[in-house]
Amino acid sequence: MEEIYRELVKIVGERFVSNQPEERFLYSRDPGTMEPHAPDWVVMPNTTEEVQKIVRLANRQKIPLVPMGGGLVLSGLSRPLQGGMVLDMKRMNRILEVNEASSYVVVEAGASQGMLQAYLKKHHPRLKHSIPDAPPIATIGGNVLIHGSGHLSAAGGFHSEMLNGLEVVLPTGEVARIGSCSASPYWFSRSPLPDLAGLFLGWHGTTGVVTKLAIKLFPARPWNDVGIFVIEDPELAPDIIRRLARVQVAEDILAWMSPKPDWAKGFQMINIAYGAETKAELTLKRDLIRESVRPYLERKVGGFMPLPPDMKVRFLEAPQSTLAVFADVNKGGGFEYVGAIMPVELFAPAFRKGLEIAESRKVPYSLGARIVGLAHCMMFFYAYAFNRADQADVRRAQTALEDTNAMVLEMGGIPWKAETPAQKQIIKKMDPNTFALMNRLRAVLDPQGIMNPGNWEA
């Protein structure tokens, strides 16, 4: 063990490796409900070359290696289930290139959402990236690799769909570039080459260590507004969402349902955020959105909340700060959710069943759905808050999450960034040939089986 420590010190320097109990404790858990698993070492590389050396060392010694971004996934994916090393990527946080003409940015995998947001605001104020509703320290890389979604997902789909290319250290130590950057100095697209990015998206760090990536940027408009459409019948939601999305004006469509504040209980609120270059364009877009749901307005079964501009400000925040308030509703700062990727037509049963689970398990809840693309699908989330210092409370939330994962799969949805027990549930439902293919690919890429073992295993 000591020898490995010394090897790691040689690679990254003493300040950036630890085998001390404090670090091992901190890196054994995330803010969710999953049991802690302590690493033997925590190491923070600064360059792709250092990552290569660490991967080669892990290979030689057959040591498990778990790449980690912000450590905020909540479902425990960066806990080292079999010990070994946690590879904390936060030092590799450089913003390497912004290409204004082709609207993309190249970042190192540890660059955070907040850093990029601030950087673009300062240096490229007419461009922005799609921000998830996560703390600003969440990394761009981590979120893309788990198929995240965010404030531009109605316009651009999942964050993994906004990926132009990446650099990855394979489990055997070679560096590979994926996308246009493999054959061009530009990181403009994954097309037209064979798309190998899928080997690293949604695999939870079991196929390699991504060190750089390029993502698409979008116009940051000077005029912005949000409409909040309110209904009280979830059966209406799919058609309304489809109509709102198909106008192709919204940057983000987010439904939310919560028992708090009191005035929100029993209603489904659908936020539609959009931007424009001029006030006239903004008004036109507002009118297009309104027109799309005209039949519901005429029947008086839904309508846009009348909000003065001041009251809209918090709904235009990216990321939304209200989630942080909810996360601590029970105090003790515990918060986890099942994000279920599912078709929009499942909105009503997803809502009703989620409500049943939350109420029967007596956990504080917040339900919602981020619409992806033109209502091509949604990330329906079931968020449960709990007090981390209260084991009974943690257990209640854990049970609610387990029930929710099972319910989602039964309905035809798929839990997103699933915890290891939920991964096993997914595998049970998965076409056996698909799972066999996953295992064959993994065996080829990672012959020693060192990459985040315990994930995507039956």
Partner 1 sequence: MSELKYDQKICTKCEKIDCLTRCQHIALDLEEARQEWMKILAGRDSRVLHECLTCYACEEYCPYHNHPFYLIVDRQEELSAWPVPVPLTKQQIAMMAPKGQIVAQKVSAPVINLCSFPMLAGSIQGKLFAGASIIGGNDLFCNIMWLHFAKNSVIRERLPKVINNLMDYYLKVSGVDELICFHDECFGTYTQLAPAFGIEVPFKPIHLFEYLTKKLTELKKEIRPINAKVAYQRPCSNRLVPETQHWVDEIFKLIGAIRPAREYEGENALCCGMVVQAAQRDDRADAIQKRNLDDMAAVGARYCVFNCPMCFMTLKGMVAERGMTPILISDLCRIALGEGFWG
Binding site for partner 1 (CB under 8 A): 230-232, 261-267, 283, 286-287, 290, 296-297, 300-306, 308-311
Q: Which residues contact 369 (CB under 8 A, 6 or more apart)?
A: 241, 254, 255, 344, 347, 350, 378, 379, 380, 381
Shortest spacing between CB 55 and partner 1, in angstroms: 54
Tokens of 129: 């990236």
Shortest spacing between CB 254 and partner 1, in angstroms: 17
CA atoms in the 13 A half-sphere facing the CB of 34: 27
* Nearer Cβ to partner 1 (15/300): 300
Q: Which residues contact 310 (CB under 8 A, 6 or more apart)?
A: none
* Nearer Cβ to partner 1 (82/322): 322
* Nearer Cβ to partner 1 (287/410): 287
- DSSP assignment of 402-441, as one string? HHHHHHHHHHT-EEET--HHHHHHHHHHS-HHHHHHHHHH
Q: Which residues contact 405 (CB under 8 A, 6 or more apart)?
A: 338, 415, 418, 419, 421, 422, 425
Shortest spacing between CB 227 and partner 1, in angstroms: 10
Shortest spacing between CB 362 and partner 1, in angstroms: 22
Shortest spacing between CB 38 and partner 1, in angstroms: 47
* Nearer Cβ to partner 1 (215/240): 240
Q: Which residues contact 75 (CB under 8 A, 6 or more apart)?
A: 30, 32, 34, 336, 417, 418, 419, 422
- In three-state form (DSSP H/G/I as H, E/B as E, the rest C), the secondary structure along 116-150 is HHHHHHHHCCCEECCCCCCCCCCEHHHHHHCCCCC
* Nearer Cβ to partner 1 (269/430): 269
* Nearer Cβ to partner 1 (256/335): 256
Burial of 418 (0-12, 13-18, 19+ CB in 10 A): buried
Shortest spacing between CB 384 and partner 1, in angstroms: 24
* Nearer Cβ to partner 1 (2/310): 310
Shortest spacing between CB 261 and partner 1, in angstroms: 8
Give phi and psi for 203, each to the nearest 5: -95, 0
